[in-house]
Homo-oligomer: A and B are copies of this chain.
């Protein structure tokens, strides 16, 4: 292995915690479902960071609890059983848990049992915004009082960061937390580790895989061969006391140079319609692509760990739609253009690339054998930052598939 690789063993040791995070970072906010996937009184089971989670909506409010009965471990969501609005019962022997506290509040066939009130299942804080349901996935003993606001685990916001991260080439990116924000998107399971997926999101060196994408040619976009860092401060890490921890890449400024030619290979990019965008990523692994796929729209991505070899890939486009008509227009454009050409089309190539990397990393050897280069400053910076600011390393799932 070449000495010229940028991830020497010393650099590697700086992100050892990241290498240990095969099952994800715990004690963070993650998207669980779109709002319309959990109608009133429905029960759904998901898994994040190896933890099975059951969600139920009652009178509009959403509750999330560990989806593993304290009695003999079956998933409550496997056969949803609710006798009232305050509880969820296990379908097997009727252990019944308070939705709000998780406490074992009765047992169907054993109303006087001594265990009642003394045990229970972990509950997970829930937030619903702009059509998405977020869950704070935590360790069993993580105290309510320490739960940070959702905004701490969401991308940087604008215009409040416009001064810190100016962007003359496009309008201030909307946020899912903005008033009238509408989040449209999809999620699907990716068959690979979440870190491999995440690193692809803000990797400036992989434009090659998108060279033949329909949207690029339909809209006559000019994509460079790649984008190279030209200065030490090409990436700013954000480690403020409050708010999200992450990194911003100064793309399409003088700190990064687009590569338009490779002489040796006789490659040259020509054209006029530059497609400007900027990527940033914050813990626990949330990508923001500003000005993408068009002005006034922002793309978010999550790579939510399910197990050590699967993740839920979320692609979400956010736009602020103050009026009903704006909403309809946006939905129409999403359905006709964005969904097929961007979320599929363009991003399918990313999903393919991520899954193609999985074998290399799955047996653990890839982390040692990879030979990173200058452009990999992005994943390396991310790995170090994530090692420092994560709120805990998830343990391998217990008693789950």
CB under 8 Å from chain B, chain A span 45-93:
68, 70-75, 78-79, 81, 83-84, 87, 89, 91-93
- Complex-state Cα separation, A394 to B365, whole angstroms: 17
**Contact mask for chain A residues 101-112; partner B; CB cutoff 8 A; 1 contact, 0 none:** 000011111110
* A263 neighbours in B (Cβ, 8 Å): 111
Given the known interface contacts A91-B209, A118-B2, A206-B92, the answer about A265 and B374 at a Cβ–Cβ threshold of 8 Å is no
Are B371 and A94 in contact (CB-based, < 8 A)? Answer: no
Any B CB within 8 A of the CB of A337: no
> How many residues of chain A are within 8 Å of chain B by beta carbon?
76
- Complex-state Cα separation, A111 to B2, whole angstroms: 17
Number of copies: 3
A contact residues vs B (CB 8 Å cutoff): 1-5, 68, 70-75, 78-79, 81, 83-84, 87, 89, 91-94, 96, 105-111, 113-115, 118-119, 203, 205-209, 224-228, 259, 261-267, 353, 356-357, 359-363, 365-366, 369-375, 398-401
A259 partner, pick from B2, B109, B261, beta carbons under 8 A = B109
* A74 neighbours in B (Cβ, 8 Å): 353, 356-357, 360
A359 partner, pick from B115, B264, B401, beta carbons under 8 A = B401
Are A93 and B399 in contact (CB-based, < 8 A)? Answer: no
- Complex-state Cα separation, A214 to B395, whole angstroms: 43
Are B72 and A208 in contact (CB-based, < 8 A)? Answer: no
